[in-house]
Amino acid sequence: MFSNSTVKKSGKKYIYSFDEGDKSMKDLLGGKGANLSEMTKIGIPVPFGFTISTELCRYFLDNKGYPDSFAEQLEDNLSLLEIRMGKKFGDTKNPLLVSVRSGAAASMPGMMDTILNLGLNDDTVTGLIEKTGNERFAYDSYRRFVQMFGNVVMDVDHEHFEDVLEKMKENKGVSLDTELDANDLKRLVTEYKLVVKEHAKEDFPESPYHQLKLAIEAVFNSWDNERAIVYRRLNNITGLKGTAVNVQSMVFGNMGDDSGTGVAFTRNPSTGAKEFYGEFLMNAQGEDVVAGIRTPVTISELEKVNKSVYDELVEAKNKLETHYKNMQDIEFTIEKGKLFLLQTRNGKRTAAAALKIAVDMVEEGLLTKQEALLQIDAKSLNQMLHPQIKKTATRTVVAKGLPASPGAACGKVVFTAEDAVEWVTERGETVILVRKETSPEDISGMHISQGILTSRGGMTSHAAVVCRGMGKCCVAGCNDIMVNAKEKKITIGDLVINEGDIITLDGGTGEVMMGEMEMQEPDLSGDFKAVMDWADEFRHLKVRTNADSPEDCRVAIDFGAEGIGLCRTEHMFFDEERIPLVRKMIMSKDATERAPYLEKLQEFQKKDFEGIFKVMGSRPVTVRLLDPPLHEFLPEDEAQIKQLAEEMGMPEKNLHAVIDNLHEINPMLGHRGCRLGITYPDIYEMQVRAIAEAAMHVSVGDIRVDVEIEIPLVGEVTELKYLRGVVSKVLDEYEGRINFDYKIGTMIEIPRACVTADEIAEAADFMSFGTNDLTQLTFGYSRDDIGKFMQIYLDKGILEQDPMGSIDEKGVGKLMDVCVKLARTTKKGIEIGICGEQGGDPQSVEFCHKIGLDYVSCSPYRVPIAKLAAAQAKLKSL
């Protein structure tokens, strides 16, 4: 079945039974498979089975077929499973039923497909009845199997099955599935098979072996379905071979009231509290809990239902947490009073929970500080660093759901993922996605929304799990609301909320409020501080911030910034008081005419720098001299042009001529950066004078200002040499009075600068990667224009992620690496940092550590993320 006619023996092992693997084999067996083996190894009760490796998935996808040895390996493993379970696959007396599940090396909840009860057909079902003595259960399992298999493997839409089911219930005059008896369910199986035949144009496969083959292939193929691709893209999952397939003997949570199923976390994934946390449903299969269709019961209730099973479960979860040294997310099934664990994995958690768990586990002696640091998702800290709803704000709560993922969110209500994407990308709105329940198809829409509100589902529903992973606010299972997606409205009693109305969610309390609420800063003491202190202890990279105002500097210092990596001076030019001076300066014919305006601007700039230096004290401050093209400072609309012309006493026509003359076809590649400094040295001279005078003024007592004067957009060392001369000449004017430290260096943002960094280093005291521009030039993209094709690129898998998000290591990163190496051949200890937005992205921080940078600089709110990521990078490299 799986082989060519001539079977050749091959040495390659493609299947591992659960007693052959262990948790280190994640790449080969997937996370689920490796953990099933590991659990088996440490004596946790796991239904026996085997795992087909990710290598086979890759082989299958590449070759559209199987290697010769596979058929024999599968037969051997099925035989072993039959022996261990004392059942036979396809047997009419004592049939072995299996589940078939996907499982890649990285967790992808809900993305891949699962089939339960495989092995059932019209013959084996009689065996199942015989063994269990429960005809209703057997046909319930059978009809579930036909539906699941028909849907997942044979691509028949769920609704076709639901229609048949609804019709049957209608005819019978009942409303619940449980009100159907064995005969009804038996008839349902027959009707379901007709549904399959009609829509799939094929008979439902009766042979259990054929079922297994089709199921395995469906899992493999689902690796490349669009949802999986999108999930991998959004979560930056790259470099995997494929998914493994776990074939496991079935246990049944739906065998009656002594059976059940549940999911649980070893600690509270929302707060981190050390408490057993989870939900279960009696007489149900696993999918019922996760899908959020029935609202499950809290785990502690299990003690009342079956104390010995509960105790056994608590023991197992403790064993697992201690063994994995990490908070675990487990799935279990109780079959006729016997406990089985079906899965364990490291549990997703909120940032607050991650911090608390880390601190607690270190205190408990379970983890070292280093291990604890590595368990925290640096990106998730983002949740804690953004404002919450202000404590003093009056809350007009209109509904309350489950606090499924913390943080606060505010936006306009939309009802479909497509609308969410459209409203945000095309209209620039911020939105809250409101759904009855979410499904994997909604991922893109969820990602782009500020927060998610659902009317159904529990704390482990799809919406809740995905949002916690994304660090996005979610209120789930909000039964108070009626979601009418067709008419695009929510009704809460008499209250109607329409599409486009603004609501606010509090994911920490589950409250839904009308309108936009005032927000407040988060508390950064306690666990947060403890973890930050550990990060400071271990990291090598310094962390600076990008800030242009004393206020931003203050925030950044509170977040632990160690200096400014990028202070953009152009922002200071836009102030209402100054922009007229800037414009007059630009309109001037020559340096003489510019002089009086520059003199006035110098006073303003001096004050700006004084404010910043005062906050930063002796910490290093990198000041970038003027960068944008001059036309950015000129008015664009007619009224403003007219006004400026009047102020300058010049005909409007002439002003238009100046503006036209400054117009550029590709401003990003035009007259900006050091090119401005070279053509108008007097502008840079003014800025350097303002810096020097401010620094002299602030440097008093213990304070010794440490300024790094940065020349932007250098592509050729002569540019830097020339402007270094201009800067030095100004500083020479203050000879004998310089009471501050300074360096003169450059931003590296032009590909040519990277490949000639050995020369550039000759004239630079420091370098700082401007990865925004460097990425744009290396790819030939303009950030302003990629909107036209980037989404298509991501959808078609041309790019795995927008290169503006994380450093593109293959291209941009290669140039950065070349730059660092070349620069240090000329000047061994030259300080090199990064100041693009990517400086706050954990993946990029790790790369920066790898290539030997001295610091990263990012926006104030990302400083803690960068610090943690820096520590993790160092620890990983050890």
Rounded Cα distance between 800 and 793, Å, is 8
Tokens of 676: 């401005």
Are 543 and 840 within 8 A, CB to CB?
A: no
Rounded Cα distance between 23 and 40, Å, is 11
**Which of 780, 828, 829, 878 lies at the binding interface for a second copy (CB under 8 A)?**
780
Backbone φ, ψ for residue 254 (5° rounding): -110, 35
Handedness of CA 15, 18, 21, 22 (dihedral sign): positive
Nearer to a second copy, 522 or 811 (CB): 811
Query: Rg of the Cα trace of the chain?
Result: 32
**Which of 484, 640, 718, 728 lies at the binding interface for a second copy (CB under 8 A)?**
718
Closest CA to 624 of 564, 584, 551, 696: 564
Backbone φ, ψ for residue 535 (5° rounding): -60, -45
Q: Is 543 in the site for a second copy (CB under 8 A)?
A: no
Handedness of CA 744, 749, 754, 755 (dihedral sign): negative
Q: Is 810 in the site for a second copy (CB under 8 A)?
A: yes
Binding mask 225-264 for a second copy (x = CB under 8 A): ----------------------------------------
Rounded Cα distance between 227 and 818, Å, is 37
| Block residue for tokens 């070893």 | 266
**Which of 291, 703, 799, 875 lies at the binding interface for a second copy (CB under 8 A)?**
799
Residues 6+ apart with CB under 8 A from 428: none
> Got the DSSP string for 415-433?
-SHHHHHHHHHHH---EEE
CB of 816 to a second copy, least distance (A): 11
Tokens of 827: 């000047």
Q: Is 788 in the site for a second copy (CB under 8 A)?
A: yes
Nearer to a second copy, 370 or 791 (CB): 791
Tokens of 202: 């094929």
Binding mask 618-657 for a second copy (x = CB under 8 A): ----------------------------------------
**Which of 811, 824, 826, 875 lies at the binding interface for a second copy (CB under 8 A)?**
811
Residues 6+ apart with CB under 8 A from 247: 49, 50, 51, 52, 77, 81, 98, 99, 100, 212, 216
CB of 876 to a second copy, least distance (A): 25
Residue 454, SS3 per DSSP: strand
Nearer to a second copy, 155 or 762 (CB): 762
Are 414 and 483 within 8 A, CB to CB?
A: no
Tokens of 725: 């001369």
Binding mask 582-611 for a second copy (x = CB under 8 A): ------------------------------
Is 447 catalytic? The answer is no
What's the burial of 364, exposed, middle or buried (CB within 10 Å: 0-12/13-18/19+)? exposed
**Which of 523, 664, 733, 762 lies at the binding interface for a second copy (CB under 8 A)?**
664
Is 754 catalytic? The answer is no
Of the residues 57, 410, 447, 462, which is catalytic?
Answer: 462
CB of 807 to a second copy, least distance (A): 12
**Which of 784, 828, 829, 878 lies at the binding interface for a second copy (CB under 8 A)?**
784
Backbone φ, ψ for residue 526 (5° rounding): 60, -130
Q: How many other CB atoms are found less than 10 A from the CB of residue 425?
A: 12
**Which of 48, 538, 604, 781 lies at the binding interface for a second copy (CB under 8 A)?**
781
Q: Looking at 356-364, 399-407, 589-597, 751-759, which segment touches a second copy (CB under 8 A)?
A: 751-759
CB of 420 to a second copy, least distance (A): 22
Q: What share of the chain is helix, strand, coil (3-state, %, to 5)?
A: 50, 20, 35
**Which of 199, 540, 614, 814 lies at the binding interface for a second copy (CB under 8 A)?**
814
Q: Which helix (H) or strand (E) holds 448?
A: helix 443-448
Handedness of CA 547, 551, 553, 557 (dihedral sign): negative
| Alpha carbon of residue 580 to chain centroid | 44
**Which of 229, 668, 696, 875 lies at the binding interface for a second copy (CB under 8 A)?**
668
Write the CA distances from 429 to 424, 448, 449, 790, integer angstroms.
5, 10, 10, 19
Q: Looking at 97-105, 304-312, 364-372, 770-778, which segment touches a second copy (CB under 8 A)?
A: 770-778
Q: Is 749 in the site for a second copy (CB under 8 A)?
A: yes
**Which of 792, 825, 876, 877 lies at the binding interface for a second copy (CB under 8 A)?**
792
Number of residues near a second copy (by CB under 8 A): 49
**Which of 776, 838, 857, 872 lies at the binding interface for a second copy (CB under 8 A)?**
776
Q: Looking at 160-168, 376-384, 613-621, 709-717, which segment touches a second copy (CB under 8 A)?
A: 709-717
Q: Is 789 in the site for a second copy (CB under 8 A)?
A: yes
Nearer to a second copy, 304 or 810 (CB): 810
Q: Looking at 175-183, 415-423, 435-443, 788-796, which segment touches a second copy (CB under 8 A)?
A: 788-796
Of the residues 835, 848, 849, 858, which is catalytic?
Answer: 835
CB of 238 to a second copy, least distance (A): 12
Q: Looking at 238-246, 271-279, 498-506, 807-815, which segment touches a second copy (CB under 8 A)?
A: 807-815
Would you please indicate which residues are annotated as catalytic (active-site) residues? 462, 835
Contacting residues toward a second copy, per CB under 8 A: 664-671, 675, 678-679, 713, 715-716, 718-719, 722, 749-752, 755-756, 759, 773, 776-782, 784-786, 788-789, 792-793, 796-799, 808, 810-812, 814-815
